């Protein structure tokens, strides 16, 4: 995580947690820490036909150390290729089964024409730590929005580093917003085990405080947006994100919760059950560059990441604004008293009196602004002026 920690900490100052090997988290245990110095396959001429130094994807993640001279047939049993993406090195790991091996572009198999190979994997598995980062932006309320991204796929761009990058810029953006209603907790965890450890250390608080959140991944490719639903259809994160997508994008894809695959698996699990969705570009496992060496920096673009960041900002703005309000009046107010009635085309507030009156009609303390926006068939942000005008003139108050 060294490089990522360095880069991200230029954006926001992340607190780093080190959890020792052997730590028990629910059904799981933090495993031995794996480190690797070098790995190669040398042919009989002494040439490195596979070299970890060229790409760290060449070694199956969590490979046990190995050294020896083996036959071509024996070597092939330890090599993974993906014939469907013949020019890319696949990404593979073997966390829960002791093994070693190499990953290779299928097209490069021809290089293995000798009968004997000198193989070396200079890795170590030893007591160590699982590392995760955490960053909190406190708001007026102890209620929290959780933003979780992963830091465990070395050298993969869209399905990995784009997530923590967009997360970090989102944090940076929110630091510049004054008077945030909610607190924002950013976590940067190795997928699955990292999320489980984080949940284990914070279960009560998460259950008590988190009202919505996202796992942020696959933010950088050039595809249209896609949204993976959180478990409960009518959760806040689902309602908000679908509303924003519906009113801003003509082409986007919604995936059922059954299609989940990242840490929303843990966040939405029965004992945790916080409403976490995932707003992405192309969904993991749905594009051919996924989990291979083609998911590299040329696959993602700054523009796409910026667009994704803006979409997250729009969603969070809507979450911040999404109060339930109560009218302070019986009957309609006399809008002209407050200069809120258009004598010509628009009122001084920027909101039309029709919107003001229609918003007011549903300020009954039971319907949130998002519900009202859906009822009025308008994007929620087109009602912000109306709400501000009504609040500033004492015509509504937030329900508690």
Examine residue 38 and tell whether it contacts its own copies (CB under 8 A): no
Would you give the binding string for its own copies spanning residues 53-92, x where CB under 8 A is met? ----------------------------------------
Stretch that binds its own copies, among 39-47, 117-125, 214-222, 357-365 (CB under 8 A): 357-365
Distances (CA, A) of 35 to 32, 196, 276, 321: 10, 22, 32, 46
Examine residue 329 and tell whether it contacts its own copies (CB under 8 A): yes
Return the SS3 of 391. helix
In terms of CB distance, is 57 or 206 closer to its own copies? Answer: 206
CB of 280 to its own copies, least distance (A): 20
CB of 340 to its own copies, least distance (A): 12
Return the SS3 of 316. helix
Question: Among 376, 386, 387, 389, which residue sits at the site for its own copies (rule: CB under 8 A)?
Answer: 376
Residues near 384 by beta carbon (within 8 Å), at least 6 away in sequence: 321
Examine residue 336 and tell whether it contacts its own copies (CB under 8 A): yes
Examine residue 331 and tell whether it contacts its own copies (CB under 8 A): yes
In terms of CB distance, is 163 or 333 closer to its own copies? Answer: 333
Question: Among 62, 123, 333, 356, which residue sits at the site for its own copies (rule: CB under 8 A)?
Answer: 333
Which ranges of the chain would DSSP assign to H, the alpha helix? 2-11, 72-76, 162-175, 193-209, 236-248, 264-267, 302-321, 353-361, 369-375, 384-392
Examine residue 268 and tell whether it contacts its own copies (CB under 8 A): yes
CB of 365 to its own copies, least distance (A): 8
Q: Is beta strand 28-29 parallel, antiparallel or unpaired with respect to 24-25? A: antiparallel
Return the SS3 of 271. coil
Question: Interaction with its own copies in 91-150: which residues (CB under 8 A)?
Answer: 96-97
Question: Among 332, 346, 392, 398, which residue sits at the site for its own copies (rule: CB under 8 A)?
Answer: 332
Examine residue 203 and tell whether it contacts its own copies (CB under 8 A): yes
Which has the closest alpha carbon to 96: 162, 34, 166? 34
Question: Among 25, 170, 189, 390, which residue sits at the site for its own copies (rule: CB under 8 A)?
Answer: 25
| 236 dihedral zone (left: phi>0; alpha: psi -120 to 50; beta) | alpha
Neighbour tally for 228: CB within 10 Å: 28
C-alpha–C-alpha distance, residues 239 and 258, integer Å: 18
Question: Among 153, 185, 231, 283, which residue sits at the site for its own copies (rule: CB under 8 A)?
Answer: 231
> Under a CB-based contact definition with an 8 Å cutoff, are residues 11 and 169 in contact?
yes
């Amino acid at each position: 995580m060294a490089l990522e920690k360095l880069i991200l900490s230029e954006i926001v100052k992340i607190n780093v947690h080190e959890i020792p090997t052997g730590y028990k988290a629910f059904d799981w245990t933090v495993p031995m820490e794996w480190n690797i110095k070098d790995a190669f396959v040398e042919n009989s001429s002494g040439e490195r036909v596979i070299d970890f130094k060229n790409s760290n994807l060449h070694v199956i993640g969590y490979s046990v150390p190995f050294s020896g001279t083996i036959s071509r047939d024996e070597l092939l049993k330890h090599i993974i290729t993906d014939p469907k993406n013949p020019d890319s090195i696949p990404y593979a790991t073997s966390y829960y089964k002791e093994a070693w091996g190499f990953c290779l572009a299928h097209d490069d198999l021809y290089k293995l024409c000798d009968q004997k190979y000198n193989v070396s994997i200079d890795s170590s598995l030893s007591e160590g730590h699982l590392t995760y980062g955490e960053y909190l932006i406190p708001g007026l309320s102890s209620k929290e929005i959780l933003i979780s991204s992963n830091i465990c796929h070395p050298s993969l761009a869209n399905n990995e580093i784009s997530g923590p990058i967009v997360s970090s810029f989102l944090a940076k953006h929110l630091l510049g917003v004054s008077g945030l209603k909610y607190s924002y907790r950013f976590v940067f965890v190795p997928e699955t085990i990292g999320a489980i450890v984080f949940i284990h250390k914070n279960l009560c608080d998460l259950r008590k405080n988190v009202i919505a959140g996202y796992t942020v991944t696959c933010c950088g490719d050039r595809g249209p947006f896609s949204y993976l639903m959180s478990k409960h259809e009518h959760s806040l994160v689902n309602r908000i994100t679908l509303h924003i997508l519906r009113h801003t994008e003509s082409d986007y894809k919604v995936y059922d919760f059954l299609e989940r695959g990242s840490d929303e698996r843990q966040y939405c699990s029965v004992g945790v059950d916080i409403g976490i969705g995932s707003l992405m570009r192309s969904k993991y496992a749905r594009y051919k560059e996924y989990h291979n060496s083609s998911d590299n920096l040329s696959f993602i673009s700054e523009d796409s990441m910026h667009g994704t960041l803006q979409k997250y900002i729009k969603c969070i703005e809507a979450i911040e604004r999404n109060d339930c309000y109560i009218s302070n009046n019986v009957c309609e107010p006399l809008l002209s008293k407050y200069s809120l009635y258009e004598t010509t085309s628009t009122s001084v507030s920027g909101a039309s009196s029709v919107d003001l009156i229609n918003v007011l009609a549903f300020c009954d303390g039971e319907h949130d602004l998002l519900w009202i926006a859906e009822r009025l068939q308008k994007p929620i942000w087109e009602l912000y002026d109306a709400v501000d005008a009504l609040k500033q003139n004492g015509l509504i108050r937030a329900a508690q």
